[in-house]
Amino acid sequence: MLKILVLILVLVIVYLIFFKKKKSDKNQKIENLVECKKCKTYISSEEALIKDNNFFCSKECLNGLDKS
Ligand SMILES: [Zn+2]
């Protein structure tokens, strides 16, 4: 009986380590920041607007660059 409990405990620890690693990988992906070409604000690469290989935080910044 004790062997089974130890085996379950090991499996739980392995599961927790794997889950924690997977979660940290996901966070790392979210924290992939890029700098707005116009106002130098850092935003998520998923939210960033891309024009001519430059990143922008908003449409205002994207359009604002053309005026300057
Ligand atoms: Zn901006």
Helix (H, G, I), strand (E, B) or coil at 50: strand
| Interval between CA 58 and ligand 1 midpoint (Å) | 6
| Interval between CA 64 and ligand 1 midpoint (Å) | 9
- pLDDT digit string, tens, across residues 8-58: 999 999 999 888 876 666 655 556 899 999 999 999 988 899 999 999 999
Under the banding of pLDDT at 50, 70 and 90, the label for residue 64 is confident
For the chain, domain boundaries: 1-31, 32-68
| Interval between CA 22 and ligand 1 midpoint (Å) | 31
Residue in the block written with tokens 């920041």: 33
Q: What is the pLDDT of residue 48?
A: 94
DSSP codes of every residue in 4-35: HHHHHHHHHHHHHHHHHHHHHHHHHHHT-EEE
Q: What is the pLDDT of residue 7?
A: 96
Q: Judge if pTM exceeds 0.85.
A: no
